[in-house]
Amino acid sequence: MKFVYYMTYPMILIYTLGETLRRGVDYFSINATTMLEDYSAAVFFILATWAWVKANENAEKLMLLAWAYAAGGMFVPFFAHLEAFLRGVTFREDHIHTDVGSIVLKGSVWVISVICLFIVMRSNKSQYPSS
């Protein structure tokens, strides 16, 4: 579980700074849903991390929520972009199918999210960072 806890920090950065630097704040006028999904994931990770540090009784539930949200939220973006790449067709103008870097990033985030979700679901006891 410590791995899961420590992975929340890079995820917070990916979902906030990564999204903002990659698309810019102006992207809200193009596709606010995508931005809100990513920022919501960051908020869930921040809440889960805060609860974990405070050894809150709901820490594991919040951690489960954050990882489940991230895994579910990255499923369609990753697999749709991968499908577009495999078909050689750009489905959306703002997701060019030849952008392999984005596919790798989305896939990595999705795989890490699924692994961490599995770890949280299999955990039978709390392992706070101080333990």
Please, what is the average pLDDT of the chain?
Answer: 89
Entry pTM = 0.86
Q: Where are the domains of the chain?
A: 2-122
Cα(46)–Cα(94) distance, rounded to whole angstroms?
Answer: 28
Q: At 56, is the secondary structure helix, strand, or coil?
A: coil
In 10 A of CB 89, how many CB atoms?
Answer: 9
**45 within 8 A of 66, measured Cβ to Cβ:** yes
Q: Give the tens place of pLDDT for each residue, 9-53.
A: 999 999 999 888 888 888 888 888 888 999 999 999 999 999 999
Give the count of alpha carbons within 13 A of 38, CB side only: 24
Cα(50)–Cα(48) distance, rounded to whole angstroms?
Answer: 5
Q: Give the tens place of pLDDT for each residue, 64-74.
A: 999 999 999 99
